[in-house]
Amino acid sequence: MELDLNLMRVFCTVYEQGSVTAAATELHLTQPTVSHSLKKLRRQCNDQLFVREGRGLRPTPFAASIFPQVKAGIAQVSSAMSSGGQFDPVTARDRFTLALTDLGERAFLPPVMTALRRQAPGTELTVLPLDVEHIPDDLLRNRVDAAICAPYIGGPDIVRTVIGTDDYVIIAARDHPRIRDELTLEQLAVEPRIRLAPSLGHDLAEVAAEQAGAPGRTALRLSRFTGLLAVVERTDCIAVLPRLLAATLEETSGIRVFAHPVEMPPLQLAVYAREPGHQRPAQRWFAQLLVDVLLETFATDPSAPLRPGPVHGRPL
């Protein structure tokens, strides 16, 4: 059966976006054009390919079985046709999308944007809120090109490149009425605590505290880091953060950072991206840029609390 490459692109984009409307936007086509292409493909494949599920589309078993091969084939053709698969950052006009928490923006965006402006001044970067549960699907569907975070994210077709290790600490107001030179396990168990939503991926510290007998008293729950600092500065609430992020706040705020009284495995800060074989040349370049920039930043900045180590994961 002879298939049109353009139809295959429509198929892959609908598969990744889960919506005809979103696929049309991604492909810069009209919605009727995408719907007509799908109709033509269904006839050629003798399969529905997608069925409606809620507000989106779910691939049929046949569509799911052929998607990896079709996607890889398109990537090979696109690579061969785009100057041998090369990417020229100096002349590029690509748009990249990065998933970060709001506090991650404060820590990682400055060095990343500095490198982008220097190496690829014609590109555009969009930052989306990070949700650890959605990152694998967002990468697969090309909603994001990469993500930077400490929580472990697994999934097929995902490369995890660890750039260094970190640990959890406690932050409290400088003039906290009860905490002096250190924070004990007994204090952790009774002090009012700010808890972060599971979507931010820092449940490890909460679980470890509960297992150590210090579940704490919840005073506030937040779905973002924004607002956390102001509350800690002005109240007797404490919060748990990775040391790297806490250090960026301590420099310019009225908080103190304390060692966490519960021992737990170190965090591994990592860049997440798709398998290189399933990326466009521009995506591969961007993911590698993130790895290089963060490794260089934390290796050359003696004040950075992140401890560089050997890079783990397959090369991007």
The two tokens of residue 123 are 């590109």
The answer to whether residues 244 and 172 belong to one domain is: yes
CA-based angle 219:225:231, to the nearest 5?
45
Closest C-alpha among 178, 165, 182, 144 to residue 267 = 165
The answer to whether residues 99 and 113 belong to one domain is: yes
Question: For position 165, what pLDDT does the model report?
Answer: 86
Query: CA–CA separation, 60 vs 202, rounded Å?
Result: 35
The answer to whether residues 278 and 292 belong to one domain is: yes
Domain stops at, among 81, 110, 134: 81
Contact 163, 294 (CB under 8 A): yes
The answer to whether residues 156 and 220 belong to one domain is: no
Query: CA–CA separation, 175 vs 250, rounded Å?
Result: 14
The answer to whether residues 181 and 296 belong to one domain is: no
CA-based angle 147:150:151, to the nearest 5?
95
The answer to whether residues 155 and 274 belong to one domain is: yes
The answer to whether residues 151 and 278 belong to one domain is: yes
Contact 241, 167 (CB under 8 A): no
* Domain of residue 288, CATH code: 3.40.190.10
| 87 domain residue, yes or no | no
Contact 270, 146 (CB under 8 A): no
Query: CA–CA separation, 23 vs 35, rounded Å?
Result: 10
Single-letter code of the amino acid located at 262: V
The answer to whether residues 100 and 67 belong to one domain is: no
Query: CA–CA separation, 262 vs 146, rounded Å?
Result: 32
Across the 316 residues of the chain, what is the mean pLDDT of every consecutive 10-residue run? 73 90 85 90 91 89 88 66 68 93 88 96 94 88 90 83 90 95 94 88 85 91 88 96 84 90 90 86 93 82 50 42
| 90 domain residue, yes or no | no
Domain stops at, among 81, 113, 144: 81
How many distinct structural domains can be found in the chain? 3
The answer to whether residues 272 and 254 belong to one domain is: no
| 75 domain residue, yes or no | yes
| 86 domain residue, yes or no | no
Alpha carbon dihedral 257, 260, 265, 269, in 10-degree steps, equals -20
Domain stops at, among 81, 106, 141: 81
| 185 domain residue, yes or no | yes
Instruction: Return the H-helix or E-strand segment holding 145.
Output: none
The answer to whether residues 19 and 150 belong to one domain is: no
The two tokens of residue 55 are 């507000």
The answer to whether residues 120 and 201 belong to one domain is: no
Closest C-alpha among 118, 119, 11 to residue 73 = 11
Query: CA–CA separation, 215 vs 237, rounded Å?
Result: 14
Question: For position 77, what pLDDT does the model report?
Answer: 65
Question: For position 311, what pLDDT does the model report?
Answer: 40
Other beta carbons within 10 Å of 259:
12
CA-based angle 67:7:23, to the nearest 5?
75
* Domain of residue 17, CATH code: 1.10.10.10
Domain that holds residue 173: 168-259
Concatenated DSSP letters of 288-313? HHHHHHHHHHHHH-TT---EEEEEES
Instruction: Return the H-helix or E-strand segment holding 46.
Output: none
| 122 domain residue, yes or no | yes
Question: For position 114, what pLDDT does the model report?
Answer: 96
The answer to whether residues 209 and 252 belong to one domain is: yes
Sequence-separated (6 or more) residues with CB below 8 Å from residue 76:
none
Sequence-separated (6 or more) residues with CB below 8 Å from residue 305:
166, 243, 244, 247
Question: For position 78, what pLDDT does the model report?
Answer: 58
